[in-house]
Structure 1
Amino acid sequence: MSGESDKHAGNWNASSKVIRSGMQGGPVVLFNLTQRGEEDVLVISPFSRFMATSLTQRNKLSASALEYGVIGSMSYIPANYAHTMIVFYSQNGINEGIRQWGQTMQQAYNRTNEHRLNDLTINYLGYYTDNGGYYYYNTEQEMNYEETMVNVAHRIPLPFHYIQLDSWWYFKGIGNGVSQWTARPDIFPDGLAILHRRLENIPLAAHNRYWAYDTVYKQKYAFALDVANGKALPIGNDSFWMDLFVEARNWGLVLYEQDWLNVQTIDFLPTRTDINLGAQWLMSMGAAAEQIGMNIQYCMSLPRHILQALDIPRVTHARVSDDYAVHLRDSTRSQWNIGISSMLADAIGLAPFKDVLWSASLQPGSPYGTSSKEILPDREILIATLSTGPVGPGDGIDYANIQSIMKCCRADGLILKPDRPLTTINTLVADWAFYDGIIQGELYSTQTTINDRIFHIIFASAMKRDYTVYPSMIGSESGIIWSYDNAQITSIFDDTHPLEVSTSKCNDQSICLWYVSPLWQFNDPIRTKYALLGEWGKWTSVSQQRFISITTNKEKTQATITLQGVASEIVPVVLFNSNLHSVTVNCSMSTENGQANVVVTPTSVICS
């Protein structure tokens, strides 16, 4: 979600209506099509009162106008009430312009990346049971959920650092809303605290949805009620959230997943009539999470929820896609294509989450029918890894592809990720608008910086037309480029040797992935050039989680690349040397400090 389901692009003029309005509306990005999205950009958005502000596009005779203001259904506006908006200009193109707008917003709200960077569920491999997972309202045969989850932890040989429990575990009431957020005895007969111990105290992430009108909590706490829609909402002026989170912490909760944010907001009359309630709800939730030291994931969020998270530091990530089950049931619905929605989440400081995934194509016994299939498992794992958000496989116990999943991370489950999420390159965004909202393919890029050296990744799939990619289009300098499946073949990547991305190769049934590395030159007689290509067999070939530094001696005759990992872990590192071409060295991480050094000279590459 995060605006994913209602995103749109087109040519805005006096007669067109291309900008989404109302509750689903979000920031508007304006750019000049003749510049292909590479230069002048305006970002227009609310600057405050995010939950109570909306925009509309109004066509008046020969003009079309954007109008921002208080949601029209609000019943009362207090005296001296004020809301603000921002018009942000950048000359650096769509991606960088949105990023700069987001930095301005974060600075205004004193938001930092502290909790995002330290969130266990973002940094380490986890297991998910949400809509798309094998165990979504589904257990192993002749097992209850408690035994199923214990078997997941003990029988799948992967370094999971947490397990997510979706909506199947708690009590529901009117309209299938939450009546009581505690474990049903038919699901976990021994309770969540015992489950946590049986899982050897592995941390838990837990799902929650909208509150039912008949929730038991309204007997003790203040709730706003909507009889017509059968829903309720904690008003947030008492200890409700603190009590809820303290109890949950006792059974191992480290991540609270607030799902169905759109439904709780749109289909609940009080949030559309009380000008303060929407923000009060989310702020009180966040304040309790801050006191407890617990992080929050937003799911099925509207852009207004993402913007409100500016003021809620414990919201560390947000799902930016539709439910994965949609894709499993119909492979033509590309749930993995998050290159646009990731821009908004990341700009505000949230890690984008692709949702659960399958690592094997066919998984009999799943709850999605006999025809359900993942046509390209590697694409799912790749996108999740390069999103910088959680990586959460949800395979059945007997179906997990261990080798494929481990391309995401180190031996201990630490995810190897780029510095920023994979996002759609500017040219594709411009063509999305030019073709009136019809995307011409999924062509993304991202990057990682080690010291002052920047490494880039280019991804393509489901291309509908061919493109030529030049270094400037991804913010890269000239360098060496190679495909993820063959590090032995390298090419120059510069303005005279661009990358050709073709529909025949990078179609809906395939993935294309290239890595771009900067070249450096030694001060030897023949000016030998070298480049770090990265770690072989991982989706992020160069990551800060693996590579600590790249240094060169004063004479510029030797370079030392320091990497880190698990003690005794073997890491295959690939380098380019203009004398030796592609060289792979297997580095064993030290048992003392978990590090190793690759030493590069004009005539040798060794690991010590």
Structure 2
Amino acid sequence: MAQKTNLRRVSVLANLVSVEVSMTSSQQEAESAQDKAWLNAMTCQQAFSPTDTNPINLVVDQASGGFKLNVPNSTLSFNSADIFFQVNGKLYSTADGSLLYTTFASGLGTDPLGKYQYKSIHWQAGGVRVETYYRYYMDAPAVVFGQHFPDGANGTSIGNEEQTCTGFPTIALEGQAGLLAYLSFGGNMFGGASIGAGEWYYQTTGIRSGITGGPLAIFDRTLHTVVLSPFSQFMAASVWHNGTGGGTFGGEVNYGIMGNVENIPPNFDYQTILFYDKGINQALHEWGGTLMRQYGKTRARTESDFASNYIGYWTDNGAYYYYHTESGKNYEDTMVDVMAYTKEAGIPYRYLQLDSWWYYKGVAGGVKTWDARPDVFPSGLRALYEKIGLPIVAHNRYWARDTTYAKQNGGNYSFIVEKQSTTSMPIDMMFWDDLFTQSAEWGLIIYEQDWLDVEFKGLKATLSSTSLGKQWLMQFGQAASSHDLNIQYCMANPRHALQSVQIPAVTQARVSSDYHPGNEQWRIGIGSIMAHALGVRPFKDTFWSTSNQTGSPYGHATEPYPRLQAAVSTLSAGPVGPSDMVKGADVKLIMRSCNAEGLLLKPSRPATAIDLQIAQKAFQLDLGPKGEVWTTYSDISGFRFGIILAADLQADWNINSVTAGFGEMMPGMAFTWPLTPSMTPFGLASENLLLKQCGKDDFAVWYTSPFLDLQNETVMIIGETDKWVPMSPQRVTNILTYNDTLELSLTGAPGEAVTMAFTVGAKGLVEIKCVLDEAGTATLNVNKETCY
């Protein structure tokens, strides 16, 4: 070929081969018409084979390493953007041909998710080997995208922690408005503090990205949904919405390693998952279950978590006794008084939470020493534990730079301490073992790690390392398991939330901002979706059970909606923690949440916002309710008892069993209080329940129950009418029907009186009172209207 060189075709192909294709300048115009045909001939389209389980259509462009993806019978369709890697201080990308293609491979494999087809492309980034790969699963509706660094890579930082220094997969924001929408988890509080929703198209804005970015659900108007998130290296990975021209809209969404990571170790492997299902809640639930299966976490430990199963007393921000004691008394005396009052009032609190007011603070309010100050507890924590006779949930915040535990400050343990930071971080497993050994002496059962976002982002070391963030969380998670402790995450970013799938001890997480009497942090219907998906109980935070509590640290603040606060807390299926002043509790309201022993009577799963509420928020069309509509249910012996909460609803809206997320149910009725005038046929998909416009004081909770045919009479179980969850698996352990007989097995406190309501044929409403035996059990026979 002639001397003058044109590299145009090599750039277009993103270096399909690593040699230069050249032609003379006089040939350039003559050959330009042949470019398209030449490109098509040289480009190899590699398609995966869909299965009955995985319908996703995925085609990989061997030349560019990119892809086209769509889901049949939906409008879900995506194209990749450019792949890039920062290496040795330079950006190598398919956009300009600097990322050089070397080889391609394909085949079959197996991992914990099952059998998969794979396609792998190897690249050279300035002499450094990099691999991108696709795993297309045959027995799950999922695709995993991988980045692999056989030799590692140096000089990877781009100097911006909110971006990524690598990009694969990268997804272009394209198309017109009105076809697709997104739900984006972000911020702290397990990704529930800054939830974004909007339309997915060429001008999309509002996707949560960077250090606080999180999982992304993309859906069409028929609710076909894909979920995208990191699938490994959770603390090192980020999502970056790179807007058009570096702006805030359009552009592409990139998945990769945090932008300030300086070096990537050899054989480092990062994965992103794309998971498909029908329905937003369903897709997120199955996506979370897939992560849990991948890392071996089950729901058993979460379901047995003491503080999620029993009611407790809280003293955190918003509580009456948050940095505030009874007049003239210290905290020790105040907590003893609280427990004495609640016992006398008949509130069966089973644990006490101690917030940040009890330990020593250092630089910038961080933890200097996690031990009780003598002015707070003059007799010490052990003495308090013995006085109140209850286990402890204890708060901790970020470690201060001057913490007494660090070797740099004369302590015994290895910490990262940086001069430019006010925080520090333990990197010593012995530290956590010793800390939790000591805390066992004063009854610790839940270690509440708050300010997770601040501790992670407060150090250069964590933002520039692929492993340090994970090491930190894994160490105190493993130590907690070794000491039979569970963990509550608070102010957790989505990266912490995702990492929890590798930490069985993480059983609960705050999904709301801090409570303050009268604020709006009760809106946890969407945030609870991710917590439940990842096997963690969502926590709404504390609340007042009465409106006016004089002398509080919040001036004249009042709680206008204590009933709503109590209902949301109970329906969350997570911790329930009132925080009233002495002689200030509404005992009857608090007892709507639990039995006589303090066991929470909750549904089978947390209440979450229905799909159409999310679609309405994203599309801003008349697709769903204009307000909060959440649903949950109790599954007992094969029967489903639905619960529908409607609050702050701006207009009437119809809901049926399918849009409620229950699926098509047995024929039955929906009802609220008062019972008789409210009864509405409900169960079949064609049967609608009208949710009337309501506010926060007149919110509605509806219940559903199936018809049971006995002796030519139709019976419907109503349950305990004085509880938020009338039919709770914690109360009714079995429903038995035989020979036209209906029996319920009940459980609770020995001697507890339990009244269950039913509708029985022409008799109408029937109430049967049972007194539980010494073992706390009883069998209720509906036909005989008796218990034994």
TM over 0.5: yes
Match of 1:174 among 363, 377, 393: 363
1:427 match: 612
Matched, 1:19 2:207: yes
Q: Residue 564 of structure 2 contacts residue 697 of structure 2 at CA under 8 Å; is this kept in 1?
A: no
Q: Residue 743 of structure 2 contacts residue 779 of structure 2 at CA under 8 Å; is this kept in 1?
A: yes
Q: Residue 488 of structure 1 contacts residue 582 of structure 1 at CA under 8 Å; is this kept in 2?
A: no
2:478 match: 287
Match of 2:237 among 39, 48, 53: 53
Match of 2:271 among 81, 84, 92: 84
Amino acid at match of 2:259: G
Matched, 1:184 2:373: yes
Q: Residue 205 of structure 2 contacts residue 250 of structure 2 at CA under 8 Å; is this kept in 1?
A: no
Tell me the distance in 2 between the aligned counterparts of 1:64 and 1:465. Answer: 36
Correspondences of 1:223-238 after superposition (within 5 Å) = 223-236=415-428, 238=429
SS of aligned partner of 2:659: helix
Match of 2:778 among 572, 596, 599: 596
2:584 match: 399
Correspondences of 1:243-392 after superposition (within 5 Å) = 243-325=434-516, 328=517, 331=518, 333-370=519-556, 372-392=557-577
Q: Residue 625 of structure 2 contacts residue 649 of structure 2 at CA under 8 Å; is this kept in 1?
A: no
Higher Rg of the two aligned structures: 2
Q: Residue 469 of structure 1 contacts residue 500 of structure 1 at CA under 8 Å; is this kept in 2?
A: yes
The 3 A distance-change label for structure 1 pair 439 and 81 is farther
Match of 2:353 among 160, 164, 178: 164
1:339, CA displacement in angstroms? 0.3
SS of aligned partner of 1:324: coil
2:139 match: none
1:214, CA displacement in angstroms? 0.5
Matched, 1:212 2:400: yes
Amino acid at match of 1:221: Y
Tell me the distance in 2 between the aligned counterparts of 1:147 and 1:487. Answer: 49
Tell me the distance in 1 between the aligned counterparts of 2:447 and 2:583. Answer: 28
The 3 A distance-change label for structure 1 pair 550 and 76 is same
1:511 match: 699
1:507-543 CA-partner distances (Å, limit 9, x unpaired)? 1332200110111223x4xx32112111120001111
1:101 match: 287
Tell me the distance in 2 between the aligned counterparts of 1:533 and 1:183. Answer: 48
Tell me the distance in 2 between the aligned counterparts of 1:584 and 1:514. Answer: 19
Matched, 1:414 2:599: yes
1:482, CA displacement in angstroms? 1.1
2:692 match: 502
Q: Residue 258 of structure 1 contacts residue 297 of structure 1 at CA under 8 Å; is this kept in 2?
A: yes
Q: Residue 174 of structure 1 contacts residue 212 of structure 1 at CA under 8 Å; is this kept in 2?
A: yes
Amino acid at match of 1:413: G
SS of aligned partner of 1:130: coil
Q: Which has the higher strand share?
A: 2
Q: Residue 12 of structure 1 contacts residue 18 of structure 1 at CA under 8 Å; is this kept in 2?
A: no
Tell me the distance in 2 between the aligned counterparts of 1:502 and 1:227. Answer: 58
Tell me the distance in 2 between the aligned counterparts of 1:151 and 1:307. Answer: 40
SS of aligned partner of 1:161: coil
Tell me the distance in 2 between the aligned counterparts of 1:459 and 1:147. Answer: 40
Q: Residue 539 of structure 2 contacts residue 569 of structure 2 at CA under 8 Å; is this kept in 1?
A: yes
1:131, CA displacement in angstroms? 0.2
Q: Residue 625 of structure 2 contacts residue 651 of structure 2 at CA under 8 Å; is this kept in 1?
A: no
Amino acid at match of 1:512: A
SS of aligned partner of 1:240: helix
Q: Which has the higher mean CA deviation after the structures are superposed, 16-25 or 171-180?
A: 16-25
Unpaired runs of at least 5, structure 1: none
SS of aligned partner of 1:82: strand
Tell me the distance in 1 between the aligned counterparts of 2:756 and 2:491. Answer: 40
Match of 2:747 among 564, 567, 572: 564
SS of aligned partner of 2:268: coil
SS of aligned partner of 2:640: strand
1:120, CA displacement in angstroms? 1.3
Match of 2:630 among 441, 444, 456: 444
Matched, 1:538 2:538: no
Amino acid at match of 1:377: P
2:162 match: none
Aligned residues: 585
SS of aligned partner of 2:725: coil
Tell me the distance in 2 between the aligned counterparts of 1:349 and 1:495. Answer: 29
Q: Which has the higher helix share?
A: 1
TM-score by length of 1: 0.93
1:203 match: 391
2:61 match: none
TM-score by length of 2: 0.72
Amino acid at match of 2:392: L
Q: Which has the higher contact order (CA 8 A, sep 6+)?
A: 1
Identity %: 39
Amino acid at match of 1:382: A
Unpaired runs of at least 5, structure 2: 1-188
The 3 A distance-change label for structure 1 pair 128 and 63 is closer
Q: Which has the higher mean CA deviation after the structures are superposed, 361-370 or 262-271?
A: 262-271
Q: Which has the higher mean CA deviation after the structures are superposed, 278-287 or 54-63?
A: 54-63
SS of aligned partner of 2:370: strand
The 3 A distance-change label for structure 1 pair 575 and 296 is same
1:442-495 CA-partner distances (Å, limit 9, x unpaired)? 110001111110110000111123211011112242311110453675332245
Q: Residue 484 of structure 1 contacts residue 515 of structure 1 at CA under 8 Å; is this kept in 2?
A: no
The 3 A distance-change label for structure 1 pair 84 and 414 is same
Q: Residue 43 of structure 1 contacts residue 87 of structure 1 at CA under 8 Å; is this kept in 2?
A: yes
